[in-house]
Structure 1
C-alpha cells in the first residue's frame, strides 16, 4: 500500500505539486500578512526601548530644577531627567529646528549615531539624519543659527548625523511657534550654549512599562494612570514653584523699589521744609510715573513666573500615532484579504483531493476485493492528503512568517529607522495548518468514506455517466440551430458538469477579485488627499489666527503674495459629539463668516441652514446617527448644545461638522469669532510656501499655516509604505489564479480523457481537440472575470471599512489600469494553460485511454 502511494505521487507529480503550491500560497499570504502588522509594532517598540525613549515628557513655562526631578521620583518606579530644549530658526533657509542640549550621561532618548561623532566641544553640532537626507547638509559644514535663537554663538561645525527615538518618521518632525511653524529637523549642541537659566523639559520613564508593547491598549491605559499619578505629585509643586519665583521676582525688584521709596521720603521731607513748589510737583509726578512703570514691570514679571505644565506621552510624538495607524491598517487588511485568499485556495484544494479520490474508484474496489480493510485503504489516500497539506502549510507558514514582514520593514527603513523584530505567529500558523488539513485530509475523509460504502464490484465498474438533459439554450431553437457542433458540445458540457463549472468560475473570479483589491488598495489610499482637496476642499492652505482682530493683518500679508487667489473667514473650533451613548472627540466645527462665499471653498452635500448641523460620514457611522437625529455638541471651552443633524456629507481626512453663523448663535448664544482663514493659492514650491508661512507668523498675526500639499505628502508617504504589501498581494494572487486554472484544467482533462480520445479517433485535429476543452475554459474565464469585478469592489470596500482610522476614511477607488492588468493576467493565464493542454493532448495514447475498462 505504501509503495502504491509513492507510485501514485510519482505518476501524478503535477497534481501533488499543485496541491502543495495552492496550500503554500494560501498559508504564505495568510501568515505573512498577519505577521506584518505585529512585526512593525514589535520592531518600533524594540527600537524605542533600545534607545530608552521616555514614556512621558513634561514641559513647564518656568523650567525645571533638581527638586522637580525629586517630585517626579515620588511616583513609584519613575526614572526622571531634565534637559534644555527650545525651538529656533537657522540654516540656509531659516528652517525651524528643535534644538536640544546634549548630555553625554543621559539615560533617556539616546541618539543613534548614523555618521560622525557626538558633540565634544562648544562649537560642534549634531544634526538629524533628515537634515542630511532631505536638506543636503554634510559633515564638516558650518551651520548658522539666527540671532533670535539667543545662543552663545551662532556658528557651529557639523560633526555628526543621528536618529532620535523622539522622531521616528522622516516625513514629519512636528510643529512650532517660530519661523514658518513646521519643524524640519532636530539638532544637539552643548547645553551651556542654549542660554537658558533652567532645564525646559523633564522626561520620565517607568520601569514597570518597559515589558509592554508601546502600541498595545494595555500600555496606553497604564501610561494614563501613571500620568494621573504624576499630575497629582506636581500639583502642589506648581504652587511652591510659583511662590518661589514670585519671591525671586520681588527680590530682584526690591532695590529699585527701595530707591523709589527713599526718593519718596526725601521728597516728602522737602515738601514739609520748603512747601509744594512747581519743581517738587514735577518731581512728584516723575516719581509716580516711575512707580507705575515699576509696578507694571513687577506685575508682568510675576505673570511670567506662573507655572503651567504641558504633558505629552508617546502618542503625542511626531509620527508615532500615524505609525501605529499604519500597522493597524495592515492588520485590518490582514483580517480580510488573506482569509479570502486562503478560502479560495482551500476550496480548490478540497475539489482537487475529491477528484483524485473519485478517479481511484477502480483501485479502491480492487483493494477491497483483495481483502484490505477500510482503514488500510483509507490510510493510503489520507496519508497522501496529509503529506500534501502539511508540506504546503509548513513551507508556506515558514516562508510567510520570515519573508513578508521583513520585506515590509525593509520598505519602512527608507522613512523610519527600525530595529527589525519579527515574532513567530504560532497561533496564526496553527490556524493555517488546521485549515490546510481540513481542505486536504478533510476532503479525503469525506470522499473515501463515501466510496468505501459501495461494493467492490460496483467500484470496479466505471461510474455511470450523467444522463443527457436538454439545457436552456436548446429550448431556444433559432439560437441553437445557428450554433456549430463544437459550440453545442461546449455548452452542454458546461451545464452538465455544474460543480466543475462553478469551481472554475470561483477560482477565476476569486483571482480577479484579489488582484483588483490589491490595485484598489493602492489607488484608494493614494487618492485620499486628492479626493479631499479636489472634490470637498477647494482651498490650498489654512491660516490659524491669534484672535478675531488679526484677520486684517493676515489679509494684508496674503495680498502682497503673487500666489494669492482668495480667502474666506471662518470660525474653527474643536469639540466632542455624543449620541446613542457613544462619543467622538476632536471634531472640527466649522462656522463660515459668509455662507455664499464658503461654497467656493468647501463642497457640502447640503446647504447650511439657520439651525442644526451638517456632519461628516465618519461621525454618522461612529455614532450611528442619520439626518433628522439629534446629537449633543460640547466645544473645547465647555459650551454645550443639543443639535439636529441636517445632513451627512462625505469627508475623507479629519472629522468635520458645519454650522451657519445663525445656527451657531442660536446654539451657543454667542457670535462665532473669526479665527481661521481658508486660502486659495496658485501652485507654489515648498520654499515659497515656507516664506509665506514665515511672513504670516511674523506680520500677519498667525499662529500657524498648514498647506494642503503637506497633507498630500503625508498620504503619499502612507501609500508608499503600503506598496510592498499591495505588490505582494497582487503577485501572489496572480500566481494562485494561474495554479488554480492549471489545476482545474488538469482535473477536467483527466476526467474526460476517454471522451477526448474518442473525438481524436473520430478524426479531430490537434487544434480542434484542444479547443474542445479550452472553449469551455474561455467562456468560464470571461464569466469569472466579470464576476470578479463585482467581488473585487465588494472585498475592497469591506477592507477599507475595516482599515479606517479616527482621522482618515478611505474612498473606494479602482482605476482602469487595475481592471486592465487583472483582465490581461487572467487572459494570459488562460492562454498559457491552453498551450500546456495542447501539448499534453497531442501526446495522448488514445488506444491506452480507450481500452482502460
Structure 2
C-alpha cells in the first residue's frame, strides 16, 4: 500500500505546508514590521501642511494624547540618471542637524550620514541606488523646486515609512523609477523656502490617547497655515500595502487548508473501508480469540495516524522551505533591513493536530463497523452486492457498445456514491487550479482596463502646486506634444454619516479623452456639473449609491466643506478615486482655471527632448510614463505574485493524483480476480486495463464540469477576499484558465492510470485466481 499511503500523505503534506508557510509569513511580516517601527520610532500621526512656523511644534506636542512631536521638511524632486531620458521621481526628506531623528529615523546600510554643515551631501534609498549602480562617493544631479542641484552621496539608507515605495499615483514598486533623498534640515529648507518652518508634522501618542481627537486637534491648529489633513499611521501608503498583504495571508491560511483536510478524510475513508472489507476474516478471528472491537479498531487507527504523521512531518519541512523561498520574493517588494522567515510554532502544533484529526475522521466512519462485526459473521464471506435496483443498459445501447465498455458503465452505475465522491474530490483540485488561474486572468484584465481604457495618455505631469491654464497652453506648444488634458487632484476627507475616508478628488474635463471614468461596461461616463462620481470601492467604503449626498472636507487652499450629490458609480480596479468635473471643482474652491497635473499624448520620436524641457520648468514636480508603470505591474504579476499560479497548479495536480491513484488502486484490489479471469479468457492487457481505468476516466471527465462550476464561485470568493482599497480583482471567464486546469487534472489522471496499468501488467494471474472460499 505504499503508493496509496504516499498519495494520501502528499495531499496532507500540501495542506500542512500551506498552513505552516502562511502562518510563518504572517508572523514574519508582522513581527518584522512592528519591530522596525518601534526601533526607528515611526510616527503614529502625520500632519502635512503648506508652511507652518517652527513654534507650532510645541503646541502640537501639548495636544492631549500626544507624547512627542517633530516638524520636518519634505518635497518632490527629479533625479537625473545617466542613460535614462526621463528624470526619476523622488521624495526629499529632511534629517535633523545632528544625531538621530527623534521620530522617523533611518537605518543606515552603507556609508555615513551627511555632515550638517555640508549642503551637498545626501543619503539615497538603498534599493534605488542599487537599481542604478550608485554607491557612496558618487555624485548625482537633482531638480528641487525648479532649481538644479549637484549632490554627493555619503551613504545608503532604509526607513520604516518607505517599506513599500511607489512613484506618485502608482501601485507597483519599481526601485529604478522612484527614489528617496535624505539631506540636512537647513539645506532642504533652503531649497524649498522653509527656513524656520516645516511642511509636515510627526507625532507619537500616549497609550490612553484617542487618535480621532488628536487628529481633529492637529487639523484645527494647522488649518490657518494650510493644513492638509492629519492622518494616522494606518493611512500611510506603505503601511497600507504591508497590512493588506498580512491580512490576505491570514485569510488564505484559514480558508484553504480545510479544503485539503476534507480531501484527506475522504481518501482515508475509502482506503480503510477497503482494508476492513478485505480483512473481514482476520477481524473475525481476532475477535474470536478475545480481542475487543476497540483493540482491533485501534490497529487500523494507528495505521491511519502513521499516514497522518508522515504527511504532517513532510508538510512541516516543505512549509519551512516554501516560506524561506517566499520571503526572498517579498524582500524584492518590501524594503525591510532584513526579512528572515520566522516559524510560528503554534502553526506546527495546529497543523499536526488537524492533520491527524483529518486522517482519523475518515477512518472512524469505517471503524464503527468493526465494533458491530460479530466473529461468526465476519468469518463468512460478505454477501454479494445487490445490483437488482441498479440501472441497466438498454438493449439498443448494449448492441452498440462493446463488452469492455458495457463493463465500465455497469461498474459506474452500480456504485454511484463512490464514483460521485471521487468526482467531487477531483473537482476540488480542478476548482482550486482554475480559480487561481481565473484570478490571475483578472489581474490581466486590471492591467488592460487601467492602462488601455481608463488611461489612454502616454505621459503624466505633476505640478508643484495648482497652476493656471497658461501652463497647459505652454506645454501644448512644446515639440512632441500632440494633446494635453488638465487634471486636478485635491486632498479631501469624505464623510457619509459616521463613515469617513481620507482620499482625493480627481477633477477631469467634462468629456475627457486621455483619462476617463468608465461604467461597468467600460463605456466612458460624462462628468456631472454639480455632483461627483464615486468609484465602486469608495461607494462601498462609504455605503453610498447614486442619489445620496456626500460631505467633502477639502484639505487645500481655503478648505471649504462641500455637500455634493452622488451622480453615479464608476468602475475602477486600482485605488478608490472620486471624480468631479474640473470647472465645477474650481468654482467650488474659488480658483478658476487651476490644474495640478496634466495627461499628455506625445510623439515618441521627440519624447527625449520633451522630457528635458519639462524637467527644466520650475512648476513641474514629477513626470511619469504610462508604459513604465504598466511594465512594472506586469513584471510583478509574472515574477512575484504571479508565481502562485504555478504553485496552485502543482497543488491541484497533487490533489487529483491522490484521489485518482487511490481510486485506481482500490478498484484494482477489488477486481484483481475479475481482471485475472478476463486475461485467462483471452482479453489482452490493454482490454483489461480499459475495463479497470475506463471507470476512472468517466469519473475524471465528469469531475471537470463540476469543478468548473465550483471554480467560478471559488474565484469570486478569492477575489472578494483579496480585494482592498488598493486594488480590486475582476472575475472574468477565461477559457484558457479552465483549459489549463483541465490539462493539469487530466495529466494527473493519466499518470495515475499509467502506474496502475503497470501493476496490472505485472500481476501474477495464478495468485490472483486463487481463492479460499
Q: TM-score, normalised by structure 2?
A: 0.82
After superposition, the Cα gap between the structure-2 partners of 1:379 and 1:763, relative to the gap in structure 1 and judged at 3 Å, is same
Structure 2 gaps of 5+ residues are 82-86, 171-175, 554-559
Match of 1:635 in 2: 552
Aligned equivalents of 1:516, 1:470: Cα separation in 2: 37
Aligned with residue 137 of structure 1, among 128, 131, 134: 134
Structure with higher helix content: 1
From 416, 420, 425, give the equivalent of 1:507.
425
Question: 2: distance between equivalents of 1:139 and 1:423?
Answer: 32
Matches within 5 A, 1:415-814: 415-418=333-336, 419-420=338-339, 422=341, 424-425=343-344, 428-469=347-388, 474-475=393-394, 477-540=395-458, 550-565=468-483, 567=485, 576=494, 578=496, 583=499, 585=501, 593-595=509-511, 601-604=516-519, 605=521, 616-618=535-537, 630-636=547-553, 637-641=560-564, 649-656=570-577, 675=595, 679=599, 681-682=601-602, 691=612, 694=615, 698=618, 708-709=626-627, 712=630, 715-716=633-634, 719=637, 720-813=639-732
- 8 Å contact 1:42–1:422 — kept in the other structure? no
SS, match of residue 332 in structure 2: coil
1:741 Cα shift?
A: 2.0
TM-superposition CA deviations, 1:431-452 (whole Å, max 9, x none): 5445433332223222122233
Q: Deviations for 1:552-595, whole angstroms, at most 9, x for unmatched residues?
A: 531441342424246477998966374xx774635766776545
Partner of 1:163: 158
Question: Which secondary structure does the structure 2 equivalent of 1:158 belong to?
Answer: strand
Is 1:33 paired with 2:28? no
- Give the whole-Å Cα distance in 1 for the aligned partners of 2:530 and 2:147: 51
In 1, distance between residues paired with 2:56 and 2:729?
Answer: 49
Cross-structure match for 1:19:
8
User: Which 10-residue stretch deviates more, 406-415 or 809-818?
Assistant: 809-818
CA 349–534 in structure 1, closer or farther in 2 if over 3 Å, else same: farther
Match of 2:173 in 1: none
1:99 deviation in Å?
4.4
2:94/2:183 contact within 8 Å kept: yes
1:735-771 residue CA offsets vs partner (Å, 9 max, x unmatched):
2322332222112212222222222222222222222
Q: Distance in 2 between matches of 1:202 and 1:566?
A: 32
Change (3 A) 1:82 1:658: closer
Q: Distance in 2 between matches of 1:589 and 1:96?
A: 23
Deviation at 1:458, TM superposition (A): 2.1
Q: Deviations over 1:219-242 (max 9, x none)?
A: xxx77x257448758978x79xxx
Contact 1:572/1:590 (CA < 8 Å) preserved in 2? yes
Cα separation, partners in 2 of 1:381 and 1:623, compared to 1, 3 Å: same
Does the C-alpha gap of structure 1 residues 828 and 730 become closer, same or farther in structure 2, counting only changes over 3 Å?
A: closer
> Residue 219 of structure 1 corresponds to which residue in structure 2?
none
> Residue 548 of structure 2: SS of its match in structure 1?
strand
- Offset at residue 203 of structure 1 (A): 6.7
Which secondary structure state, in structure 1, belongs to the residue aligned with residue 291 of structure 2? coil
**Counterpart mapping for 1:53-202 below 5 A:** 53-58=42-47, 68=57, 72=61, 78-80=67-69, 86-89=75-78, 91-92=80-81, 93=87, 96-101=90-95, 103-119=98-114, 122=118, 124-145=121-142, 155-172=150-167, 184-191=178-185, 193-194=187-188, 195=190, 197-198=195-196, 200=198
Structure 1, gaps ≥5 residues long? 1-11, 176-181, 210-221, 240-302
What is the CA distance between 1:455 and its match in structure 2?
2.3
Query: Equivalents in 1 of 2:358, 2:405: separation in Å?
Result: 35
Q: Residues of 2 paired with 1:703 and 1:748: CA distance? A: 71
CA–CA distance in structure 1, aligned partners of residues 11 and 598 of structure 2: 54
- Secondary structure of 2:140's match? strand
Deviation at 1:322, TM superposition (A): 2.1
Once residues 164 and 197 of structure 1 are traced to their aligned partners in structure 2, the CA distance between those partners, rounded to angstroms, is: 25
Structure 1 residues 309 and 531: alpha-carbon distance in aligned structure 2, compared to 1, 3 A threshold: closer
* TM-score, L = length of structure 1: 0.75
The 3-state SS of whatever aligns with 1:15 is helix
Matched-pair contact (CA < 8 Å) for 1:69–1:82:
no
CA distance in 1 between counterparts of 2:200 and 2:664 reads 69
Q: How much does 1:375 deviate?
A: 1.6
Inter-CA distance 61–560: structure 2 relative to 1 (3 Å threshold): closer
Q: CA deviation at 1:340?
A: 2.9
639 and 312 in structure 1: CA distance in 2 versus 1, 3 angstrom threshold: closer
Asked if 2 retains the 8 angstrom alpha-carbon contact of 1:586 and 1:655, the reply is: no
Give aligned pairs, total.
Answer: 741
CA distance in 2, matches of 1:561, 1:471: 82
